[in-house]
Amino acid sequence: MNFLQQAPRFLFFTGKGGVGKTSVACASAVHLADSGSKVLLVSTDPASNVGQVFGLDIGNRIAAVPAVSGLSALEIDPQAAAQAYRDRIVGPVKGLLPDNVVKGIEEQLSGACTTEIAAFDQFTGLLTDAELVAGYDHIVFDTAPTGHTIRLLQLPGAWSGFLEAGKGDASCLGPLAGLDKQRAQYKAAVDALADSTRTRLILVARAQQSTLREVARTHRELAEIGLRNQYLLINAILPAEQVADDPLAMAIHQREQTALANMPDVLAALPRDTVMLRPFNMVGLAALRHLLTGDGAGLAPAAQPCRPDAHPGLAELVEEIAQAGHGLIMLMGKGGVGKTTLAAAIAVDLARRGLPVHLTTSDPAAHLQETLAGALEQLTVSRIDPAEATERYRQQVLATKGARLDAQGRALLEEDLRSPCTEEIAVFQAFSRIIREAGRQFVVMDTAPTGHTLLLLDATGAYHREVARQMQPGIHYLTPMMQLQDSRQTKVLIATVAETTPVLEAANLQQDLRRAGIEPWAWIINNSISAAHATSPLLRQRASNELVEIAAVAKRHAPRYAVVPLLQDEPVGIARLQQLVGSDH
């Protein structure tokens, strides 16, 4: 494995949920420790299952892994870190500022942005603690800080303390209030991340076109802020020897090879490693030691029989959706789970029933027209360009709210509008114009606003600030959030796949939505092997592994759900999208 050759002190594994970051990070840490190095494995992933992988209760303190000499592990608890972070910021101003100002600060610190910053705050302490670092040859991080976080920290307003000064008018910089004491620590951490002699980033991906497009964006985003020492690791490739006599396996193999042959140029130029798909779950040391080296015969238990018709399909959900005659359908979920395809399939089925449908997306990597590869009389398709929406939003805010500010206030406003959260808000506002159409037809949204954005806009203080930015005093405005929170008008569908991390991340998204007053209507488990007809021994074992995650969704998470099979043919074109739904319409 090239990415482990002459490994520097810090190794960061990053990538979308479900690509195998945790498994690869744990296997790499074990490999380095087995080679005689002293290693600390750190997880900053909100959906961390490092403890589960090792069969240990690790938690938020450094703990030795008894079965591996030289290996210790730590799971940073993002929620606990966020609460401690909130207490540190809000505590000193309680009783000093008016209650409504304190409440506004608490609202701004309630979202996912705060959790992300708080976890970064804790992990930078590890990077910059000279005594701790000196005690290990390598520190392996499961989930690197995002470019979003680092760009936020590079904005001067992150250090202004403007909330304590009563200038809490910025929508995105709020979670960064009160960080001035950590400024030197954060700069040292970012410098360490950008130093190729100390840090290596491993971009973990699957051999899927959508996933590789997402990873290419991550590569560019991190490279733009100085993190250029990157390696690409393609995980879970179906071995060629598993293809014989199984049409589904053959189709998967061909799709993977096509995706690899056509990967974005920026990824093709990176040093690359590949890891084959294994039949066993990545739990326990034996599995971890065989992930990067192969073999592992006998680690997988006997496959359990799978009944492809044992779970409700997408047709049942669409049938219930269609009964209303109109409404807003929002597809939400992490990258790489097939939201675009599912949104197109639902829109096609509704249109085939003679119902008017507007299908829209804001995903830069989405290719709705390519997915549809055709037209239907009742189907309208549109795309929101995030860059155009953001620039329009910036100019609108500066022309309205900015015109009434003094030079200092306008400078802070302009800085806030350069923050990465501005795009989320701008896209939401563009969506809100389309939302109004749902009163007379179906509107199907691919890549809906994140739970973080909805929390930000729904918080009373943030809501009034956003209204004030665009409206002159005295003008009343009705927020589209009221429609999103009305289950009679809006149905939120959470998309995932039947693997541990994607299901955990989907559950976290559901909690964020609930805090914003939005109750998800259903879950869709996409690309399920257990719902297909696989005969390859490896695929049958993978199908058996899915059953635990499907049961977790059905019994613990989803009020209603559907399982969509992995198809032999790529679901492109009207006919194949209709096949994905499986209805008679």
Q: Which domain-ending residue is among 291, 324, 343?
A: 291
* pLDDT exceeds cutoff 60 at 472: no
Active site residue 45: yes
Would you place residue 502 in the very low, low, confident or very high pLDDT band (cuts 50, 70, 90)?
confident
The residue with greater pLDDT, 513 or 336, is: 513
Cα R_g (the chain), whole angstroms: 24
The torsion angles phi and psi of 293, rounded to 5 degrees, stand at: -110, -15
39 bridge partner residues: 71, 138
Residue tagged active-site, from 21, 334, 401, 491: 21
* pLDDT exceeds cutoff 50 at 168: no
Q: What is the 3-state secondary structure (H, E, C) of 272-304?
A: EEEEECCCCCCCCHHHHHHHCCCCCCCCCCCCC
pLDDT at 463: 45
Tell me how far apart the alpha carbons of residues 118 and 553 are, in angstroms, rounded to a whole number: 29
Q: Which domain-ending residue is among 251, 276, 291?
A: 291
Tell me how far apart the alpha carbons of residues 118 and 79 are, in angstroms, rounded to a whole number: 9
* pLDDT exceeds cutoff 70 at 461: no
Active site residue 91: no
Active site residue 20: yes
pLDDT in tens, 217-259: 889 988 988 889 999 999 999 999 988 889 999 999 999 999 9
Total tally of structural domains belonging to the chain: 2
pLDDT in tens, 74-110: 988 877 888 888 888 788 878 887 887 777 777 667 7
Q: Positive or negative CA dihedral for 549, 555, 561, 567? A: positive
pTM, rounded to two decimals: 0.81
pLDDT at 116: 75
CATH number, domain containing residue 547? 3.40.50.300
pLDDT at 175: 63
Active site residue 528: no
The residue with greater pLDDT, 273 or 157, is: 273
Residue tagged active-site, from 23, 28, 160, 210: 23
Give the three-class secondary structure for 202: strand
Residue tagged active-site, from 17, 45, 327, 361: 45
pLDDT at 167: 44
Whether residues 334 and 475 share a domain: the answer is: yes
* pLDDT exceeds cutoff 50 at 526: yes
pLDDT at 165: 45
Whether residues 573 and 524 share a domain: the answer is: yes
Strands (E) in 447-585, as ranges, are 490-496, 522-528, 561-565
Would you place residue 357 in the very low, low, confident or very high pLDDT band (cuts 50, 70, 90)?
very high
Whether residues 76 and 205 share a domain: the answer is: yes
| Residue 555 belongs to a domain | yes
Answer whether 189's CB lies under 8 Å from 130's CB.
no
Give the three-class secondary structure for 75: strand
Whether residues 443 and 517 share a domain: the answer is: yes
Whether residues 452 and 545 share a domain: the answer is: yes
Active site residue 335: no
Residue tagged active-site, from 14, 22, 44, 530: 22
Residue tagged active-site, from 18, 168, 178, 451: 18
The torsion angles phi and psi of 135, rounded to 5 degrees, stand at: -80, -5
Residue tagged active-site, from 15, 17, 20, 461: 20
Strands (E) in 19-146, as ranges, are 39-43, 63-64, 71-75, 138-142
pLDDT in tens, 404-459: 888 887 887 887 788 777 777 788 788 888 888 998 999 999 876 666 566 555 54
Whether residues 200 and 246 share a domain: the answer is: yes
Whether residues 259 and 337 share a domain: the answer is: no
Whether residues 327 and 255 share a domain: the answer is: no
The DSSP string of 316-364 is: HHHHHHHTTSSEEEEEE--TTS-HHHHHHHHHHHHHHTT--EEEEE--T
Tell me how far apart the alpha carbons of residues 479 and 560 are, in angstroms, rounded to a whole number: 28
Task: Look up the domain containing 273 and give its range.
Answer: 2-291
The length of the chain in residues reads 585
Active site residue 146: no
pLDDT in tens, 322-338: 999 999 999 998 777 88
Tell me how far apart the alpha carbons of residues 461 and 463 are, in angstroms, rounded to a whole number: 5
- What's the order of all strands across the beta sheet hosting 522-528? 379-383, 357-361, 442-446, 327-332, 490-496, 522-528, 561-565
